[in-house]
Structure 1
């Protein structure tokens, strides 16, 4: 009867020891579960903030990387890259609290840490960025005890175009030619090129072409076409280039140039003793004065560019003078006949335009020259009176501005002007 309590007591002690072990195991499992839960909660709560960066080539870019919402211990910040210049994933930069920033696999001083390790800020700066730097950068934070946490930062580059505007040497004609070329070279993305032509919108047209390069950039060329006429010469047009890499659109102005040789040479009176040679040409003409059959210049005459000035009223200066206008595209000439008598200067421009005030005098002088020519031909036997009428063998003097005149014939025909006409000429000169 006494053994039963002993048996019960032993059994009770066994159960107590077993229960104690079970409680201890449950406690350890609970603690492990709580630890894992807390770590999981901490890991899911922290964040690594980066970004998607777009920058212009040649500028300085910031690659942001910051760890937030964690109290774990930071042991290291690492940077990796996979770029055009480094197509394989490459570790290139580390930061620790003990050693600070250090380059890995080669030094590149364009990189600089701008964050703070203590603030869990691993942001870096890259200066003078190029297309070879374009790619994906990875920022990695190593924490204890949770391990590595990272973010990827794509870097995209814009490349501004190199712009230029050139003109083509369009010569006066009737066929359509290229007048100007506007180029936006090596841009990314491709540049947009357009023309502002104003009143020439119906007379010119633009054609565009583009070439893509292996580095991802594009060159865009726009040509302006039109018929090279005097009507469009000297008109101003503009080439406008736009691109996201430019802070503002780029505008280049251009004056259309149509080149042509001198067209018509006109000799007009500049003052009472000087005359000026005028023509229309592009580029501007150079003027050369000559006196056919005589050395020139000579005493009593001064030549300054297009101007011919008589310094004295000597009859030695009587005769024909030629003004030649020339440029790279051709030449043309005009003529001036000068006759001085009793201190008066009389002139007749050939191939030139007389001013209105000379109209009356010119008519009178032509009549005098014609009379002198008839008299000269009659005296020389070239003019003969025949039965039934009169036959005249005389040459007409061409009064045009072409370069093929016969200046000697003009001079010979008027040099025979008789002295008896001097009085009439003087009277005309006084009436001017």
Structure 2
């Protein structure tokens, strides 16, 4: 019989060696499994992040190209398009492209989307026609690759809307209070437009007042008003409105300021020996009416617009004539006197006071002439010598 201690001493090393070999063999599959899992996790983490393709900026109603392309040797099973727009659920899938089955619309079929890419080239680019403001938002294409995962490309669709432009005259009545003279509007634009004025002669005499309104669809209406005290010197002055927007080229609108006022001073201008025109300044333009004082206008006198014409120079056409100018805001008139004698026409504007002023100037001259010739003295002597006889003669 072998000693008990010797037997135990020989067995223990063998048992320890066998145990160590078993443990090493069991760890290998565990390490391999963890490596595979970590590698797969790393690959999945690498490809799930979306790549920003950039903004796609187009005009309202035009077509947009939504890019979707990837360079890889992985096998492609499908391309999925999803969008996030206002009023819809986020990441709404609207189109699926498969190598074998082609296009498949999700939910409602929107034929405005046209596939212009190539599946074999891993290109899922779309052409989006007739875009509206409701289409603005984020568009993402997702590639289903093996073993690469699901990389994606994201584009932000931005819609531009050109402004509807208008320039309106207010046509105020002449006065001393500040009122609107003209208003320039850039309506329903996206982004908002800028409005400014080139005032010309009115620089420093008028001021601008800018306002804007934002609409629910994302557009903005901007308008600018010229304010000033309306005077007749402003009437007809040129002003320009300049509208700037990202959605269109610079637009320049122009107008002439309109101020209404009654007729001013009336002038009668001789156009020929037998033709005279009545002139005045008014806005709107004044109507002109010719009349003859105390009598109807003779049939041989013709009125054409603001001009009166005498067809003959007979004495029965002599008399006082009146020119009256009138518009909705007032009236004014002027007079002139016509005298025909021996075929000649003598015209004098009827300022009766003028004759009264001339008499004191002419009378002293006549007295001097009479004194110089001695006739005045002979007249006085005759009157003194026989006043009763003169009275009888005059009687």
| TM-based fold match above 0.5 | yes
Q: Which of 162, 165, 181 is 1:160 aligned to?
A: 162
Structure 2 CA distance for aligned equivalents of residues 86 and 344 of structure 1: 94
**Corresponding position of 1:330:** 330
**Corresponding position of 1:61:** 64
CA apart distance, 1:142: 1.6
CA apart distance, 1:143: 1.9
Structure 1 CA distance for aligned equivalents of residues 206 and 123 of structure 2: 59
CA offsets, 1:350-383, max 9 Å, x none? 48xxxxxxxxxx9789959x99xxxxxxxxxxxx
CA offsets, 1:294-344, max 9 Å, x none? 334x43222110111111112222222222212222221122221111111
Relative to the length of structure 1, the TM-score reads: 0.69
**Contact 1:43–1:146, Cα closer than 8 Å, also in 2:** no
SS of residue in 1 equivalent to 2:150: strand
**Contact 2:62–2:131, Cα closer than 8 Å, also in 1:** yes
**Corresponding position of 1:271:** 272
Structure 1 CA distance for aligned equivalents of residues 41 and 209 of structure 2: 66
RMSD in angstroms over aligned alpha carbons?
A: 3.5
Alpha-carbon spacing, 1:115–1:266, altered in 2? closer, same or farther (3 Å): same
CA apart distance, 1:275: 0.5
**Which moves more between the two structures, 332-341 or 42-51?**
42-51
CA apart distance, 1:28: 12
CA apart distance, 1:132: 0.5
**Corresponding position of 1:312:** 312
Q: Residues 163-182 of structure 1 correspond to what in structure 2 (within 5 A)?
A: 163-182=165-184
Relative to the length of structure 2, the TM-score reads: 0.75
Alpha-carbon spacing, 1:265–1:104, altered in 2? closer, same or farther (3 Å): same
Structure 1 CA distance for aligned equivalents of residues 45 and 181 of structure 2: 67
**Corresponding position of 2:226:** 224
**Contact 2:174–2:230, Cα closer than 8 Å, also in 1:** yes
CA apart distance, 1:45: 8.1
Structure 1 CA distance for aligned equivalents of residues 89 and 35 of structure 2: 43
**Contact 1:48–1:66, Cα closer than 8 Å, also in 2:** no
**Contact 1:84–1:131, Cα closer than 8 Å, also in 2:** no
CA apart distance, 1:36: 8.2
Structure 2 CA distance for aligned equivalents of residues 78 and 349 of structure 1: 94
**Contact 2:52–2:154, Cα closer than 8 Å, also in 1:** no
- Stretches of structure 1 lacking an aligned partner (at least 5 in a row): 1-14, 352-361, 372-432
Q: Residues 177-192 of structure 1 correspond to what in structure 2 (within 5 A)?
A: 177-192=179-194
**Corresponding position of 2:124:** 122
**Corresponding position of 2:290:** 289
**Corresponding position of 2:92:** 90
Structure 1 CA distance for aligned equivalents of residues 304 and 356 of structure 2: 28
Q: Number of residues paired by the alignment?
A: 340
Structure 2 CA distance for aligned equivalents of residues 303 and 111 of structure 1: 73
Q: Residues 32-111 of structure 1 correspond to what in structure 2 (within 5 A)?
A: 44=46, 50-68=53-71, 70-111=72-113
Structure 1 CA distance for aligned equivalents of residues 88 and 136 of structure 2: 9
CA apart distance, 1:205: 0.8
Structure 2 CA distance for aligned equivalents of residues 302 and 107 of structure 1: 79
**Contact 2:81–2:94, Cα closer than 8 Å, also in 1:** yes
Structure 1 CA distance for aligned equivalents of residues 89 and 39 of structure 2: 40
**Contact 2:171–2:257, Cα closer than 8 Å, also in 1:** no
**Which moves more between the two structures, 141-150 or 121-130?**
141-150
